[in-house]
Chain A
């Protein structure tokens, strides 16, 4: 019986794959179309200055956090607390730079960065423990920690005072944002450090998801948590780890932010979580997880970044920008849902 069915099912499969592909491809095509429109309408769009120093550098630190968020969301979770975690980490970096003043920069800065990474991982773990070991809904957990972490940042900066990187270290530290590496052996084309860091984080996470045991478990937990647990997977640890990793990526992004202005402020970065989550969702990783990939997220991130860039270049007012941002997320997800629905009906 099964033998004569094989051709049917194969035909079906080709169709299914194309449904998956349609979604990813449609985001990519939209991205290309927007780039073309921008290139035609805006003379400065296709310049190294705009594309790399502006668009991609801005995308880089969002993207670093989006890498962690992708893991969380493929595992079926959600993290609203990334902006607050980033705030805490940036404050921790600058405070550590202050508290280790008499050492050489090459000792102080790595220690401060390490401290921030530890803080971020710790905060992420707090989310992870409550979500996976206590079993509270991730929305509730991260909504609460979003408030708590923000409060922590305010408390350790004595009510949200702006703290400055010590002058002696400032010149070195700011390289984490402002530093540039020559490309093609000349300084005509340079790559900013944030982009390099993003590429590194992206490659690590990509490898983690694609080629490691942990990565397979992340997909498995998002795809069917009960089945994964019954198959003997430590699902709690896997879920908790995705939150810890997201905390870590927040710390990396926080260091770059702090480097940009050489200051840290507890009240910054609000709204960041929405941009990050939007990148992941627009890219095609669904709420509920089990599907998606980092390439999808990269797709979504670039699309949103190009749109931001266009809005800025066209001089669109801030209030209209929010309408555009919201509409894009809604349309992207609605298209995904509709495509899937027609796919199921056949």
Chain B
């Protein structure tokens, strides 16, 4: 970064509400020319919301954005793009069935001689020029769907900076990249910096920030905690800034010792996804599963839950249970809290009470199938009290609750069944810190009651502090088993990307 580089972007006093929930509260953020400014915070801290404001996705934010000395109002994505602000999202938006060249030029295809036709030669030439400018080596005519995830990411970058980009936002670009690809991406970011482009870098991986960022801003619960020069601060400081308290206060103390064997998995395989996974789960044990997105960790637990097919053996208390449906798992006493609450969890338009009871309607109704409103209400109020759902209103439609409270309802749905094994897939995704601490406490309580817990999380700090043991999954294989209390976040991250070898 150049000394005394000019400030190119200044977001002042940004406020944004969602359905009465304040997602951003008076946030200031500043970006200099040729700077990589990291933006970190817990899930739900407001990082993505702030960048969505910058990308022009919300028309109703409050505050000022000063871009190259001019006061601008970014009310739609077209405006932001026009000014040269581009965002590369974590979920890639490339079109898999188009070629690399077509993807890069998408939306700006050069016209041919006849109206409405496409000038292929010119399209290829322009795309190649973009790639040359970035020093990317990509096959122009390959369908993007055939490329690796990392190379698709490069295509997306090429598409984003095809035009005169002045600010580039990376939203968790390394979430699913292997270590070599991460290094490649860092090189690209350094090249962009050299050209004077300002970059905002959102990440969960505190350990990688010193390699890429110049400054770092920490958000918590929609507010800026502070902005620091990267070289002046330690990763542990950042972690405390993110959480707002030291880890000891957030995570409950372990109180029990695992008992007898509950689940035994052997040689679990699904070709192309995961291979030869074997492990055990004991009563009262919290078994963490660590891995990058796409490593196959979710697919493994879904197979145990019966939602995906797999080969191999999986025993619950000595009984073979593999290749059952979620319905059978439910009957056997295995519950699973899904990663994507909106897609796989909540039933929108239905009340909290129905969402809590939907898994145990057999018990809440007469043998003929008539529901008992009384039993339904009793179950709902018991669970609302136990999970401390706010507001404690069983008749409220579930989509009106905050993410954290929706998650409590999802957990409550399974607890009503009194399951022996509960699988948590990213249980704290998109919920605020206060609720997170409650979820941690709950997971610990459930373990203390003698249930077996499988916990998947991208936030390694959770695994390290909650799990008795941690299985590391890399590219569909179980590569290591770590003792939870004896490991730390950086070591776990190194194992997951394969640097530990």
Give chain A's interface residues, CB within 8 Å of chain B: 1-3, 5-6, 8-13, 16, 211-214, 216-217, 219-220, 223-224, 226-234, 290-291
Q: Is the CB of B344 within 8 A of A9?
A: no
Shortest CB–CB separation between residue A129 and chain B, in angstroms?
Answer: 17
Between-chain CB contacts (< 8 Å), 18 pairs: A3-B390, A5-B20, A5-B21, A6-B391, A9-B20, A10-B391, A12-B400, A16-B400, A212-B369, A213-B369, A220-B358, A224-B346, A224-B347, A227-B338, A230-B305, A230-B336, A230-B338, A232-B359
Q: A1-B221, A13-B396, A219-B347 are in contact. Are A231 and B358 (CB under 8 A)?
A: yes
Residue with the highest number of chain B CB atoms closer than 10 Å, among A16, A233, A291? A233
The verdict on B102 contacting chain A, using a C-beta distance below 8 Å, is no
Q: Which residues of B contact A13 (CB under 8 A)?
A: 396-397, 400
The answer to whether B349 and A291 touch across the interface, beta carbons within 8 angstroms, is: yes
Residues of B within 8 A of A9 (CB): 19-21, 391, 400-402
In the bound complex, CA of A37 to CA of B20 (Å): 43
**Given the contacts A6-B391, A220-B347, A223-B348, A213 and B413 also touching, CB distance less than 8 Å:** no
A224 to B371, Cβ gap below 8 A?
no
Is B449 part of the binding interface, using a Cβ–Cβ cutoff of 8 Å?
no
From the candidates A3, A226, A232, name the one contacting B343 in the complex (CB within 8 A): A226
Q: Which of the four size classes fits the interface of chain B?
A: 35 or more
Write out, one digit per residue, whether chain B residues 365-399 have a CB within 8 A of any chain A CB (1) or not (0): 10001110000000000000000001100001100
With A16-B397, A232-B326, A233-B358 as given contacts, are A211 and B370 in contact (CB-CB < 8 Å)?
yes
Q: Mark B399-411, 1 if CB is under 8 A from A, else 0.
A: 0111011000000
Task: State how many angstroms separate the Cβ of A71 from the closest Cβ of chain B.
Answer: 14
Cα A224 to Cα B413 in complex, Å, equals 15
B432 contacts chain A at the CB level, 8 A cutoff: yes
Chain B residues near A290 (CB-CB < 8 A): 347-349
Write the chain B residue with the least CB distance to A1. Answer: B434
In the assembled complex, B307 has its CB within 8 A of some CB on chain A? yes
With an 8 A cutoff between CB atoms, is B141 at the interface? no
Q: How far is the CB of A238 from chain B (nearest CB, A)?
A: 11
Write the nearest CB–CB distance from A274 to chain B, whole angstroms: 27
* Distance between Cα atoms of A231 and B335 in the complex (Å): 8
Give CA–CA (A213, B357) in the complex, Å: 10
Residues of A within 8 A of B499 (CB): none
B18 → A minimal CB distance (Å): 10
Interface string of B202-233 (1 = CB under 8 A from A): 00000000000000000001000000000000
Q: In chain A, what residue has the closest Cβ to B360?
A: A232
CA distance A144 to B278 in the complex (A): 47
Decide yes or no: A2 and B402 within 8 Å by CB, A12-B19, A220-B350, A224-B347 being known contacts: yes
Q: How far is the CB of A3 from chain B (nearest CB, A)?
A: 7
A212 to B364, CA, bound (A): 10
Contact of A216 among B345, B361, B404, B405 (CB under 8 A): B361
CA–CA, A227 and B307, complex, Å: 11
Closest to A207 in B: B370
Least CB distance, A306 to chain B, in whole angstroms:
29
Apart from A227-B344, A231-B359, A232-B326: 11 A-B pairs, beta carbons within 8 A: A1-B221, A1-B432, A6-B390, A6-B391, A213-B362, A216-B354, A223-B348, A226-B344, A230-B305, A230-B344, A233-B359
Q: Are B221 and A11 in contact (CB under 8 A)?
A: no
Q: A9-B400, A12-B20, A219-B349 in contact; A233/B327 too (CB < 8 A)?
A: yes
Answer whether residue B474 sits at the interface, using C-beta atoms and an 8 A cutoff: no
- Is B37's CB within 8 Å of the partner chain A? no
- Number of inter-chain CB pairs below 8 Å: 113
Task: Answer whether residue B329 sits at the interface, using C-beta atoms and an 8 A cutoff.
Answer: yes
Verify if B330 is at the interface (C-beta below 8 Å from A).
yes
When C-beta atoms are compared, the residue in chain B nearest to A2 turns out to be B390
In the complex, chain B residues whose CB is within 8 Å of the CB of A223: 347-350
From residue A88, how far is it (CB to closest CB) to chain B in Å?
A: 29
A2 B344 Cβ-Cβ under 8 A: no
Complex Cα–Cα for A3 and B326 (A): 35
B321-333, CB under 8 A of A: which get 1 and which 0? 0000111011100
Which residues of the partner chain A approach B370 to less than 8 Å between Cβ atoms? Answer: 211-213
Distance (whole angstroms) from the CB of B211 to the closest CB of chain A:
34
**Nearest Cβ on chain A to B21's Cβ, whole angstroms:** 6
In the bound complex, do residue A213 and residue B361 qualify as a contact, i.e. CB atoms below 8 Å apart? Answer: yes
Give Cα distance in the complex from A112 to B432, angstroms.
63
Contacts of B347 in A (CB 8 A): 219-220, 223-224, 227-228, 290
Is the CB–CB distance between A8 and B405 below 8 Å? no
B19 with A8: CB separation less than 8 A = yes
B21 near A8: Cβ-Cβ < 8 Å:
yes
| Smallest Cβ-Cβ distance to A229: which chain B residue | B326
- Report B-chain residues with C-beta under 8 Å of the C-beta of A11: 20
Q: Given A1-B434, A5-B20, are A227 and B391 also a contact pair (CB < 8 Å)?
A: no
Q: Report the nearest B residue to A8, measured CB to CB.
A: B20
Q: How far, in angstroms, from A235 to B38 measured CA to CA in the complex?
A: 45
- Take A9-B19, A13-B400 as given contacts and tell me if A214 and B369 are in contact as well, using a CB distance cutoff of 8 Å: yes
A204 CB to nearest B CB, Å: 13
**What residues of B have a CB within 8 angstroms of the CB of A229 in the complex?**
307, 325-326
Shortest beta-carbon distance, A13 to chain B, in Å?
5
Report Cα–Cα, A129/B435, bound state, in Å.
Answer: 43
Q: Which 7 A-B pairs have the closest CB atoms?
A: A8-B20, A232-B330, A2-B390, A223-B347, A213-B361, A232-B327, A212-B369
Give the nearest-CB partner of B222 in chain A: A1
Residue of B whose beta carbon sits closest to that of A13: B400
Cα A50 to Cα B405 with chains together (Å): 54
Minimum CB–CB distance from B221 to chain A (whole Å) comes to 7
Binary CB contact string for chain B from 17 to 49 against chain A (1 if under 8 A, 0 otherwise): 001110000000000000000000000000000
Residue in B closest to A208 when the chains form the complex, CB atoms: B369
Assembly CA distance A229 to B307 (angstroms)? 9
Q: Mark B300-337, 1 if CB is under 8 A from A, else 0.
A: 00000101000000000000000001110111000010
